[in-house]
A = this chain, B = another copy of it.
Amino acid sequence: MKKQVKTINDSLVRVYGDILWIEENELRQSRFKDLTIKDMHAINAITMYDKKTASQVAKELHLTPGTLTSTINRLEKKDYVKRIRSSNDRRVIRLGLTKKGRLMYRAHDAFHRMMIDSFLKDVEPDEIKTIEKALRNLENFLREHS
């Protein structure tokens, strides 16, 4: 019983470290060598879809506003991200991806999809429900602790 918890925990810890490391390596061999994982995760948080504000993205990534600014500077200079000054409130910056940014976004997304597909290999639909339940549990736990 106790042992099972430890095994699952160790597996999660290992998996997390390995994912970051593999993503870093794949990135270095790809056409997007000029990005770090952190850059990639910023692009992922910015998203192809909404036009989030800088503050929203900083919060999601748990970065201070200043750090986010410099992240955006970097990504703007490298032509992955663009700043869009909001017209109703001219203090706020909305963030969007350039063509190159969207390309990167899709590539990263494809990797994650592959990963989740393999995660769910041979997992039956009702078993997926179990996994979703456990993840919800975890998210609740984290919410209580923040």
Contact = CB atoms under 8 A, between A and B. Distances in A.
Interface stretch (A65-73, A84-92, A95-103, A110-118): A110-118
A131 B134 contact: yes
Given A19-B142, A22-B146, A9 B116 contact: yes
A79 interface: no
B15 A138 contact: yes
Nearest to A127: B130
Contacts of A139: 11, 14-15, 18
A131 to B, nearest CB: 6
B146 A25 contact: yes
A142 B12 contact: no
A117 B5 contact: yes
A19 B134 CA distance: 15
B8 A44 contact: no
B134 A120 contact: yes
A141 to B, nearest CB: 4
A135 interface: yes
Given A18-B62, A127-B127, 12 more contacts: A7-B132, A8-B132, A11-B136, A16-B16, A17-B62, A18-B142, A22-B145, A115-B138, A118-B137, A122-B133, A122-B137, A123-B130
